[in-house]
Each structure stands twice: as C-alpha cells, then as structure tokens.
Structure 1
C-alpha cells in the first residue's frame, strides 16, 4: 500500500507521526509526512493497537507513506496497507531475490529473466505462459508474467472493496499501473521510462496522444550500429489476427498503430495460451491483458519480441479460467472485500488461493478451487492461508459453497463509494 500525501488514499487509514495522529488528507498531514521524511522518522499505522511501523519515501514532488517490506500481513485485514502473507501467492518465491526494496531510498530493484535488448530479427515466447519446464523459475528473476502480476499487485488492482464498483475505468487502471512503476529499477534504469501503457483514446486528442506516444517510444527506435532497445507494453488486446503481411496485435486505445508479430511467435501463441484465449473467446466481458517487450523499426513499426497474456474480469481482477471467473464475480456481486491471489512465476501445479477475504471477523479465509477432476482436497486444506481458515470448492463434484460470513460492521456495496488505491 502506498498512501500519497497528496490525497490518493483508501479509507480508514490513521497514522501516528512524531507523536501526533493524522487521518489521510487531514489538515497538516502532508507537512507532517514531509517533516518525517526529512527527520528519517517512521510513521506508525494505527490499524492495530500497538501500531505497525511504516516509512516515508519521495514520490515526484511529494511524499508517500509506505509499508515496510514484508509487513503487509501485520496490518488489520480491513486496513488499506494489509496484504496477505507472501506465501499466499507467488510473491513469496520472488520477494527478496527478484524483488528487493530499500526503505532508505524508497527504490525497488527488479531482477528480470527476460531481456530489454535484442538482436534484430528475433522474437520469442516468454517462459511465463505455460506449465512446461520453461515456466518453472528458481525465483531469483521475474518472468514477464511475474512482472505484470507484481505491478498489478503494487497498483492494488488485486484488491476489491464494494465501493470500487463502477470506478475502475481504463484511465484508473493506467494511472495506478504507472504509479506502481515509479521508483522501480530494472536492468539498472528506471522501469517507468521503459513502460508504455496506452492513454485512453479521444478522437479530438488524436494528434497530441500520438505525439506523446512517439516521443516515449524514441529510445526503442532502431539505429545502425546500436543494440536494439526494447520497451515494455501493458495494454488490453482487441484482436490478434493475420495482417496483409504476417500477423498483428491490435491494442485498445491505440487505433492508429498495430504491433507486428512474426509467424513463429503467432503459431506458438495459440498453443501456449490456449486456455486463456478460450476463456477470452467465450466471455465477452473479459479484458485480455497483454504484457510484451517490443522494438520499433527505423520505419516506425513496433514489433513484439516477447509476450504473455492475463485474462481479467470486467472489474480488472485477474482470473485464470472460467471457474475463477465465476468465483470472483460471485464475490463482487455479494459485496465482499478480498484480495486476489496471483501466481507470479509459479506454474499451475502449485495449489494457489484464488482470493483471501478481508471482511470477516477475526480471520482472513483463503478461497481455493480444487482442480477440475481432482479429488485431492487435502492438498488444498494444507495450502497456505493468512488465518489458517480454508474454503474449498470442487466444481467437478459440487455447487459453489456459501462463503464465510462477513463481519457485521463491514459495509455492503451500497454503503460506500471509495475509489481504488
């Protein structure tokens, strides 16, 4: 959780700074945060009686209060800074090795297992999209899919509260992803300078949007005698289809420029992401997110070098298959608050919680879907859970069970209206 002194915040955050208590955005809060940064003081989040230590880092022209590394589970489940223990998702495998955060500087160093440069004329599939041996990682580097999951987590797009309904537009998703990329270093340079997330398209702003895009892509334009630099793209796929020559990916909010895909990559795409593409084709309300590295030819044509796909619901919550989609949609429809689990580098052979409920009294139950056709419920009962409480659903043998009850004090969907972040 990152809480901006400029007022970008989730509800109910209360901090103690230099012996004084402040609510987010209250009078004097921004000055107190700036003073704490100058004095190297540690604010305390008061979601727990004893408080949880935080730290202050610079963010643009202001400051943000951030949780200390690996302390998200120390916060109360309904606190904006709460996150399940790292073993709840694939984050535990990569934190501290592929992801290293320095509280002294507020910077996070990311070790990637994919290149950001390439030799001309080569493309490949990432190791992040299948369950073959290329998916299995030693955890010391982030796969392309792992990077997308990390940014989605950091942007808090895996967190859901009933007040977020109707407020997650592409503009909101984009803003949070770009904020999540701030103060992240990859291959020795700021990740933000490499990352391109398309602006919401507006016909009357077409020329200005295109000019900003071309300026941002300039470092990736091919030049004689220079190693080809790659950019990172995160966008929603509109279609991946044959072109007049080869194949192309069309990204939403980018109507004026498709991304070239060579035949080898296109053929492997259908095999590697067969289940994701099947879900996308069967459900009109699925957002198919793509993370890709791409180069820009001297002629200005962008070409994808490597990519991974991630389906997401209409509320931009990532899902792996149709059963997860049913589960997440039920949670949203019932006005529940939860955190969505993501795999990062883990393959599907590992039991992973679909979500953890954050609106229950005294616990944070983990929700597991037993693999279709599997009767090994014990594997899931022994899987990690933030509170030891496990909810299981085996779609092959039973209807979806009732969820653990909500705490009576937790608001329902119509009782709150707070934007995600």
Structure 2
C-alpha cells in the first residue's frame, strides 16, 4: 500500500503518515485498534509526535489522548488540553478517574450512592455539590461528575467557528458520547444516564417510549435497594406543587420531577448564588445533575442534585465576574478553554480560562475574587513572562483590563466539508468536533 504523505499529515500510524481526509484513514484507525498500535499526533513541528490510542466508541472508533498528555499537544491541536493543575481535575486523575488505554474504558469513583434503601428519606445536596465545596477524598461528587462530562464532551472549548452552532441537541449528543466507555460502580454509565431528547410533538410517542425503557432500569424492587438513575438536564422552573415541590425541565414538558420540602429548602441554601444569577440573567442556562428514583406509578423523584450555570453558548460560569470575562472572550472572537473547579471550592484561586490564540503556549486568565487593599488596580495588567504568560483581574479593585493580544498561528485544518452528525457516528472520530 502506498504511504499517503502530505504536508497536512496529522497522524502517524507505524511508518505511515496520514492526512485527516486521506482515503483509507478509517481502515488504518480500525487496524490500529485491532493490533493495539498507538497513533502519534503530529501537531508539534518537531519531535516524533505525541502518542495516542484508539478506543471503540458507540458505532465507530475515536483516537484519544493518552492520560496526562493533553498539554503536550500544540495549542492549535484539537487534542490539546491545558495542564491538569489549571483546573480542579488534577488531584482526581488516577484516583477518582482511572483511564485504561488497553481497554478504552475509564472507571469513575463517586462519592454519592447510586442505590436507595427502602424507606430511606431523600438526601440533601451533598457538601461536595454546594458552593462551599468540601472534597471527600479523591472521589467525584455530583458537581465534579458534571464538570468531568462537560470537559469530556468539550463543551468547555470555544472558538469563533462554533458561534450559532451549539444547540441542546448538540450538547446532548456530545454528553452521551462522553459518557460512553465510562464505568461507575462496576456498571456502564450510559445504562443509568438520562439526558432529555430535543422535544418534538411529532416524535412524542417515540421519545416517551425510549424514556420509559431507560427509566425501567430504575424500577423499584421489592425488598431490595432501588437502583438510582442519573440525569443531566436544563432547568425550566422549580416551583411549589399541589404536594411538595417540583422541578420542570426544558424538552420534558410532559413530566415534572418531585422534590420533597426538605430537599427544596436545602436547595435554596446551597445554591442561592446560582439561582439568584439565573433568575436575573435571561440568557443564562441552569443545568441540573441529579440522581433520581422512579416510584411504582412511574413518577420520578430527585434524591440528590447539583446545579451549574452556563452562558448562552453552554460555557460554564461560576458567578457574574466569570460570566463577564467569558462574555468578553466570546464577543472578541477568542479561542479558549474554560477551566472547571470539580471539587475545588470557589474560595480557592484557580485559572478561569486558557487563551489558545496567544502563541505556542496557553495564556491562563485569573480572577482574583478576594479583596486585597495592597493589590495594584486591575487596570494595570501584570506583565507576563515570555515563557509563562499570565493575565489577572481583581474585580474589587476596578474594571476588567484589556485581554492579551491575539497572535497569528497555523491552526490544525478541519476537514471540508465538515462531517454531519451521522458521519461522526460511522466514521472514526478523530477529535474534530466542528459542530459544537
């Protein structure tokens, strides 16, 4: 077979180099999976390339980063990820999140139950899901699990080409792809994960049938612990019901979820800031991740929950300052990755986002939330080191300073035309997701 050599080659498999749209790439990736070969990403201008591995995902294959190698890729590469210490992910890798390149599976250790004992009352939002986070060892709380799925779905990534192309259907598809090959409590995560489909009057009966089939996994079992299901959905309303309270979700108009009075009261205390900001900013999305049970009548009741705010582009934000910075980045057409806290409390300083268009290294953006009378006014930008650029904003000291200047780089080219949703499922996913 002739080796396809091209200036835009992006992968090396054995002694062959492949362009992203080269004929035969699909077969080469499938062959690499069968023979346990490691593709190498050629995003860096020098060196042998960065090792990857091939995993089976849904009906196709995906070329994935080796654990802890995302920062070795070029910032223009779709496989690039900021260093783990830029977010709350770092302490969880290898402990709560254990990736096995040999099998392509990732085991997640959770700090919340996925079963409910008969007669046991619903649990309040755990400490690891509230705004005052306390990490219970190296395990994923509900908020941390949602952050992990959002990261894996690359809903934290943004470049100007994504504008107008993210819908709930897109978010749902990538969340389900992110959950594939993930294992919790020795079971496939997808078996328990419910993400509402985009509602359609014409498809209502088919959607209802698929929902009931999934919810059947959480049916009560006489005398046995009841399996809990996991849900990620956009909140439409949380309000009093005829008995207790209810949560209503977008794309799920025919079924509300029960919240008992105790859970409702704790919800207001644990997520007061998120609920207040959501209530006053109409362009924000409020996402809920929750464990829920289904009673004998088929009515779903929430057991434990956490909330996350996102912008109109589905980029997560912690508070109003976070939203102001992310909004400025989107309006100015910047390319960046939003950092997530996982188990890290909001009182601890963390990178807010990493700019990817400032040269060969990412530029971390910090928000100093604590008032410091000795700090310089925010309008004075800290001069970045040439090897370690950095930008800081102290909102309590003044207005947001100008963002670092964009630098011209040669991005990794996307295939043309961009693949459709059906193409992505049947053709090996090589970490190009042009429709998010």
TM over 0.5: yes
The Cα offsets for residues 84-105 of structure 1, whole Å up to 9 and x where unpaired, read as 1111100001111000000100
Matches within 5 A, 1:227-376: 227-371=225-369, 373-375=371-373
1:258, 1:406 → 2: CA distance? 46
Range moving further from structure 2, 229-238 or 397-406: 397-406
8 Å Cα contact 1:360-1:404 kept in structure 2: yes
1:263, 1:406 → 2: CA distance? 51
Indicate the residue corresponding to 1:419 in structure 2: 434
**Cα–Cα, structure 1 residues 377 and 23, in superposed 2: closer, same or farther, change >3 Å?**
farther
1:370, 1:143 → 2: CA distance? 25
Indicate the residue corresponding to 2:429 in structure 1: none
2:122, 2:258 → 1: CA distance? 11
Matches within 5 A, 1:89-108: 89-108=87-106
Which one of the candidate residues 157, 164, 167 is aligned to 1:169? 167
Indicate the residue corresponding to 2:24 in structure 1: 28
**Cα–Cα, structure 1 residues 305 and 138, in superposed 2: closer, same or farther, change >3 Å?**
closer
- Structure 2, unaligned stretches of length 5 or more? 1-7, 419-432
TM-score (norm 2): 0.88
Indicate the residue corresponding to 2:404 in structure 1: 404
Indicate the residue corresponding to 1:393 in structure 2: 393
**In the TM superposition, what is the alpha-carbon distance from 1:388 to its structure 2 partner?**
2.7
Indicate the residue corresponding to 1:52 in structure 2: 50
**In the TM superposition, what is the alpha-carbon distance from 1:375 to its structure 2 partner?**
4.6
TM-score (norm 1): 0.91
1:358, 1:23 → 2: CA distance? 23
**In the TM superposition, what is the alpha-carbon distance from 1:131 to its structure 2 partner?**
4.8
2:186, 2:374 → 1: CA distance? 45
Indicate the residue corresponding to 1:123 in structure 2: 122
- Structure 1, unaligned stretches of length 5 or more? 1-11
**In the TM superposition, what is the alpha-carbon distance from 1:157 to its structure 2 partner?**
0.4
1:107, 1:167 → 2: CA distance? 29
Secondary structure of the residue aligned to 1:354 is: strand
Secondary structure of the residue aligned to 1:267 is: helix
Secondary structure of the residue aligned to 2:129 is: coil
1:122, 1:375 → 2: CA distance? 47
Report how many residues are paired. Answer: 401
**Cα–Cα, structure 1 residues 366 and 122, in superposed 2: closer, same or farther, change >3 Å?**
same
**Cα–Cα, structure 1 residues 13 and 334, in superposed 2: closer, same or farther, change >3 Å?**
farther
